[in-house]
Amino acid sequence: MSDILSQAEVDALLQALSSGQVDKEQIVSEERQTKVKKYDFRRPDKFSKDQLRTLQMIHENYARFLNTSLSTYLRSVVEVSVVSTQQMTYEEFIRSLPVPTVVTIFQVEEMGDAGILELSSGLGLMMVERLLGGGLTIPARSRELTEIEINILARILQRFLSQLKDAWANLASVTATIDRIETNPGFVQIVAPNQMIVLITLSVRAGEEEGLLNLCLPDTLLEPVLPKLTAHYWLGSSSKEPAPEQRAAIEKRLISTEVDVVVKLGTTHLTVRDLLDLQPGDVIALPSRIEDPIPVYVGSSLKFYGKAGTKGNRMALQITRVHKEAEQNDR
Residues 224 and 266 in one domain: no
Q: How far apart are CA 103 and CA 88, in angstroms?
A: 18
Residues 209 and 79 in one domain: yes
Domain at 277, CATH number: 2.30.330.10
Q: How far apart are CA 281 and CA 275, in angstroms?
A: 14
In the structure, what pLDDT confidence band is assigned to residue 1 with cuts at 50, 70 and 90? very low
In the structure, what pLDDT confidence band is assigned to residue 30 with cuts at 50, 70 and 90? low
Q: Is the pLDDT at 300 greater than 90, yes or no? A: no
Domain at 212, CATH number: 3.40.1550.10
Residues 71 and 184 in one domain: yes
Q: Which residues pair with 118 in a beta bridge?
A: 103, 214
Does residue 14 fall inside a structural domain? no
> Per-residue pLDDT averaged across 236-247, rounded?
60
Q: Which pLDDT tens digit goes with each residue over 174-200? A: 899 999 999 999 899 999 999 999 999
Please give the pLDDT value at position 7: 63
Residues 62 and 197 in one domain: yes
Phi/psi of residue 145, nearest 5 degrees? -75, 145
Q: Is the pLDDT at 111 greater than 50, yes or no? A: yes
> Range of 316's domain?
261-330
Please give the pLDDT value at position 44: 60
pTM for the complete prediction? 0.60
Residues 319 and 238 in one domain: no
Residues 123 and 216 in one domain: yes
Does residue 186 fall inside a structural domain? yes
DSSP 8-state symbol, 282: -
Does residue 70 fall inside a structural domain? yes
Q: Is the pLDDT at 240 greater than 60, yes or no? A: no
Residues 195 and 270 in one domain: no
Nearest to 74 by CA among 153, 178, 145, 180: 153
Residues 72 and 145 in one domain: yes
